[in-house]
Amino acid sequence: MVDQKNVLVIGSGGREHALCWKLADSPFVKQIYCAPGSVGVSTTNKVESVDLDIKNYQALAEWCKEKSIDLVVVGPEDPLANGIVDGLATFGVKCFGPPKAGAQIEANKDWAKAFMIRHQIPTARYKSFTDAAAAKEHINNATYPALVVKASGLAAGKGVVVATSKEEACQAVDEILTDAKYGVAGETVVVEELLEGEEVSVLAFTDGETVSMMPPAQDHKRLGNGDTGPNTGGMGAYCPCPLITPDQLLDVKDQVLQRAVDGLKAEGIKYVGVLYAGLMITKAGPTTLEFNCRFGDPETQVLMTLMETDLYTVMKACVDGKLKHLQVAWNTKLSAVGVVIASKGYPETSTKGCVISGLAQVQSNPGVVVFHSGVSRGANGSLVTAGGRVLLVCARAGALRAAAAAATAAAAAIDFPGKQYRKDIAHKAFSNKDPIDQ
């Protein structure tokens, strides 16, 4: 008989729903608790949403011991940046995720850029500023297009402006530094060189020594079709992404992911969990735009539908320092496409309480999985919107085009007032010889 374990997942979004969905598949997992969880998470087999104070590490650790939690899986970046892994470790509770010092790779972009330079990880030229006038002077006089302006701290995926002009970049500096649009997250701005090419996300599992790369995915940050409108937390993703070649992927593994893990180790940081590299595939090759210290959202949702190896086993191998003994397998015969359905007003605001219809019909489609990001129960038990990104519909098929068509059709079949979704997720991967069906 298999010795089954209990797991706690921290978070409430679509990423956490996908992680719970995949962990529930494991024969080694008995019960999953998700804090705070969600309506969608709670409908998943083996999963119970729980209300816990994740900032009180002693109380959280005591709860974990009471419930015989074998592993805590941290979804979002904020708890990692706040030191939840270190806090629970002092009470003997194991976490899948990096310590606070490792989470700096996402939580402090100024530190992360300097780290990349120190360890010869290919990245864009940059300068950091706390003074708006100095930042604007650099934008106007740099020998390269210094048009990417980032809040150095965590801004929920929204603190990046890719400007189309020097004026727009200077305006972004004023918003972040002078107007404090992102609060303390924007006390330092990083001004980077604008790179040309396609953006690709490559995530990897790591135990602090070994790196096991996941298939490449592409996130779609802009709100509207054709990459128009404001930046969002992500409007959809697909996997695998053919815009990066197998040779380039090998370079990314060696020169970006392994080099980062080795560099962190050399600086006394044992980095365990997921390391996410946001890359630009330039004419000169892959260049690192940013690192994230956790699973991406919405990349996780598509990745989990293609993962063949047991997720709990992989996470446990990372935490126990045994990843080199494990081959992580992925379904190479299928493509997965996820389309986010967002509420009216997103990303600036969100509309709550709108009744969602069509969900049951879509969920009955074979090959389609729906993950909840911002959904709650209405007064009469109906499902209603409760956030900016509401749902992600993921479809799998043998051909990427078929998966994209199925995911887009599923998104069209779900309705609520003011819904927003893109109809061109994965279209960048379709070949020019094979025109996009409008």
Tally of CB atoms within 10 A around 17: 35
So what's the pLDDT on residue 431? 61
Domains contained in the chain, CATH given: 5-97 (3.40.50.20), 127-192 (3.30.1490.20), 198-429 (3.30.470.20)
Among left, alpha and beta (phi > 0; psi -120 to 50; other), residue 11 is left
Q: Which residues pair with 189 in a beta bridge?
A: 129, 151
Q: Which two tokens stand for residue 331?
A: 């379904």
Enumerate the H helices of 273-417 as residue ranges: 299-306, 311-319, 359-363, 400-413
Averaged pLDDT, groups of 10, the chain, 438 residues long:
92 97 98 96 95 97 98 97 97 98 94 95 92 89 88 78 88 86 85 92 98 97 93 94 96 98 98 97 93 97 98 98 97 97 94 94 93 93 94 97 97 97 95 41
Between the alpha carbon of residue 152 and those of residues 79, 122, 173, the distances in Å are 17, 19, 12
Burial (CB < 10 A; 0-12, 13-18, 19+), residue 28, is: middle
Among residues 107, 35, 75, the alpha carbon closest in space to that of 301 is found at: 75
pLDDT for residue 246: 96
Q: What is the model's pLDDT at position 116?
A: 97
Closest among 310, 247, 314 to 274, alpha carbons compared: 314
C-alpha 231/C-alpha 91 separation (Å) is: 40
Core vs surface per residue 91-116: b (16+ CB within 10 A) or e: eebbbbbbbbbbbbbbbbbbbbbebb
